């Protein structure tokens, strides 16, 4: 089984990239974030194309903002929209959908950004993560949590820790909340497979951040032990971030039981920028 997660940053804008990517990479299960479409609009735009490729779809969308989805060619059962008991801001937002695909409970999440460490949105982010943890704790043994976590797990997951001082995504409370989720027995499969490599999944559109490989790793696949034991390859599809009209995130890929492309990674293709210490870089915007 090939499992992927991708923050597409508007499925409507990414349509010319998404469909060819599905045909090339042929994932069995895809978790999407920031679809930015209501459910009916998603089906109108993509329903026929996905059905023709053998994908069933679980959706939790809203117009213009947020939105998550699961596409599956290996079954799609027991769909749950949202997270029981999760807070809203102030109303519940379209940030989680889960389903059982090929015997694995799959959770696609778009964690709140947090905006700034002193904001109400930051407190909302931490409360939302606590609700996610509670839901996962009550889940079955075989499960994965996939998506844009909006948290870099460690300083090794950002291009320059000093550049993020005072920003969200790297604060101790956020990292503690992510660690509590992983404490349920979930493995960060990309980092486990590539413990010492420079691996990013998000690069700001501005200031040439992508071409200089000045990014952060905030898109994760967290797998329970029975699923993690089946991993044969785990990598970031950097090719999907290249070219015209890309998302600012790259897909994260995991192959279970067999790896059609071999044990490739951690980043495909690797960046051409030299991996040397750089002068201080000011962030163009908060991620």
Separation between Cα atoms, residue 113 and residue 106, nearest integer Å: 22
Give pTM, 2 decimals. Answer: 0.95
Query: What's the N-to-C CA distance of the chain in angstroms?
Result: 31
- Asked if residue 287 is part of any domain, the answer here is no
Q: Which among 132, 155, 127 has a CA at the least distance from the CA of 82?
A: 132
- Asked if residue 275 is part of any domain, the answer here is no
Separation between Cα atoms, residue 6 and residue 22, nearest integer Å: 11
DSSP assignments along 106-123, one per residue: EEEEE-----STTSHHHH
Separation between Cα atoms, residue 89 and residue 137, nearest integer Å: 24
- Asked if residue 274 is part of any domain, the answer here is no
**pLDDT by residue, tens only, the chain of 287 residues:** 999 999 999 999 999 999 999 999 999 999 999 999 999 999 999 999 999 999 999 999 999 999 999 999 999 999 999 999 999 999 999 999 999 999 999 999 999 999 999 999 999 999 999 999 999 999 999 999 999 999 999 999 999 999 999 999 999 999 999 999 999 999 999 999 999 999 999 999 998 999 999 999 999 999 999 999 999 999 999 999 999 999 999 999 999 999 999 999 999 999 975 455 555 666 765 44
- Asked if residue 88 is part of any domain, the answer here is yes
- Asked if residue 281 is part of any domain, the answer here is no
- Asked if residue 29 is part of any domain, the answer here is yes
Give me the phi and psi of 276, to 5 degrees please. Answer: -125, 165
- Asked if residue 277 is part of any domain, the answer here is no
Supply the CATH number for residue 261's domain: 3.60.10.10
- Asked if residue 283 is part of any domain, the answer here is no
Query: Which residue in this structure is represented by tokens 């490729």?
Result: 53
Domains in the chain, number: 1
* Structural domain that includes position 137: 2-268
Separation between Cα atoms, residue 146 and residue 104, nearest integer Å: 12
Separation between Cα atoms, residue 23 and residue 261, nearest integer Å: 15
Query: Which residue in this structure is represented by tokens 């993560």?
Result: 129
Separation between Cα atoms, residue 283 and residue 209, nearest integer Å: 9
Residue 161 has what DSSP assignment?
G
Separation between Cα atoms, residue 71 and residue 33, nearest integer Å: 12
């Amino acid at each position: 089984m090939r499992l992927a997660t991708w923050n597409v940053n508007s499925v409507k804008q990414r349509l010319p990239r998404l469909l060819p990517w599905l045909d090339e990479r042929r994932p069995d299960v895809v978790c999407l974030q920031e679809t930015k479409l209501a459910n009916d609009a998603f089906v109108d735009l993509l329903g026929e194309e996905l059905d023709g490729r053998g994908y069933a779809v679980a959706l939790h969308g809203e117009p213009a903002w947020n939105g998550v989805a699961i596409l599956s060619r290996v079954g799609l059962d027991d769909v749950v929209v949202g997270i029981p008991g999760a807070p809203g801001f102030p109303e519940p937002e379209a940030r989680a959908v889960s389903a059982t695909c090929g015997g694995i409970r799959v959770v696609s999440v778009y964690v709140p950004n947090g905006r700034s460490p002193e904001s109400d949105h930051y407190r909302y982010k931490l409360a939302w993560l606590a609700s996610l943890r509670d839901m996962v704790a009550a889940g079955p043994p075989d499960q994965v949590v996939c998506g844009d976590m909006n948290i870099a797990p460690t300083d090794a997951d950002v291009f320059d820790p000093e550049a993020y001082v005072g920003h969200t995504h790297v604060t101790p409370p956020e990292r503690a909340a992510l660690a509590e989720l992983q404490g349920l027995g979930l493995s960060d499969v990309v980092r486990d497979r590539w413990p010492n490599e420079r691996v990013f999944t998000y690069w700001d559109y501005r200031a040439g951040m992508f071409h200089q490989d000045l990014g952060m790793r905030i898109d994760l696949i967290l797998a329970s032990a029975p699923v993690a034991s089946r991993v044969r390859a785990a990598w970031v599809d950097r090719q999907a971030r290249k070219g015209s009209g890309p998302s600012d995130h790259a897909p994260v890929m995991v192959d279970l039981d067999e790896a059609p492309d071999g044990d490739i990674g951690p980043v495909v293709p690797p960046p051409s920028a030299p991996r040397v210490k750089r002068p201080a870089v000011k962030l163009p915007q908060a991620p």
